[in-house]
Amino acid sequence: MITIRKAESRGRTDAGWLDSRHSFSFSHYFDPDAMGFGPLRVINDDRLAAGGGFPPHPHADMEIVSYVLDGALQHRDSLGTGSVIRPGDVQRMSAGTGIRHSEFNASDTEPVRFLQIWILPEAGGFAPSYDQATFGDEGLGNRLRLVVSRDGRDGALTINRDVDLYAGRLKDGTEVGHAFAPGRLGWLQVAKGSITLNGQDLDEGDGAAIERQAALTITARGDAEVLLFDMAR
């Protein structure tokens, strides 16, 4: 079963320096029917104006993934990590017992757009940690590339939950597939462009909750970028 969540049905926060679309309940946006899906708790499509950003703030017991679509995002945290991530990079922060971090647009002239993803960990009390990796066009082009997983296989970043996150940049007409093991859940997020998912058309910002589905076929309608979560319940 595939249930589509259209982009226009998402919540929104518009603070001037921040324009954010919420696939699930977040901050002042509350929808009792959209509290997350499986261990997936947050997908925010964030746009930060030039010079804008989130000042230092705390997190605990959450696996946080940042995926940049346009521009450059500057990260600093209480572990002493400082970095700038760009399209093709994936950042993972395990908040664990507690971490403080800030995220700012690294440019004074251009906006940055990124997906902020929160995944519930399998347990509390992990030591906080940070990691990032560059996959680029070569790694993400015309395929579903594993970028985050529990076991870190195939060069993926590791998180404390049985969730496999795949990313792909698909040229017009490219078709890719994915098979689910029995009992797994899926969520597909169209980050850019438009696709057809098992015969259903999805556009930029649309998401799809996937249950009791053995396999997916994804076809790009024009150039597209997608994220696919394959999750234990």
Q: What is the per-residue pLDDT across 198-229, written as a single tens digit (0 to 9) for each?
A: 999 999 999 999 999 999 999 999 999 999 99
Q: What order of strands is seen across the sheet that includes strand 89-94?
A: 11-14, 18-22, 40-48, 112-119, 63-70, 89-94, 129-134
Domains of the chain: 2-231 (2.60.120.10)
Where residue 81 falls among pLDDT bands split at 50, 70, 90? confident
pLDDT at 61 over 90: yes
Q: Are strands 157-158 and 145-149 parallel, antiparallel or unpaired?
A: parallel
The letter for the amino acid at 153 is R
What's the CA gap between 23 and 204, in Å, rounded? Answer: 12
Helix, coil or strand: residue 164: strand
Helix, coil or strand: residue 85: strand
pLDDT at 82 over 90: no
pLDDT at 97 over 90: yes
Q: Residues of the chain with pLDDT > 70: what percent?
A: 100
pLDDT at 158 over 90: yes
pLDDT at 133: 96
pLDDT at 80 over 90: no
Task: From residue 233, give the alpha-carbon distance in Å to each of 40, 185, 230.
Answer: 10, 6, 10
What's the CA gap between 170 and 148, in Å, rounded? Answer: 19
**In whole numbers, what is the pLDDT of the chain averaged over residues?**
96
Tokens of 21: 């679309």
What's the CA gap between 155 and 135, in Å, rounded? Answer: 10
What's the CA gap between 106 and 123, in Å, rounded? Answer: 33
Arithmetic mean of pLDDT, 29-44: 96
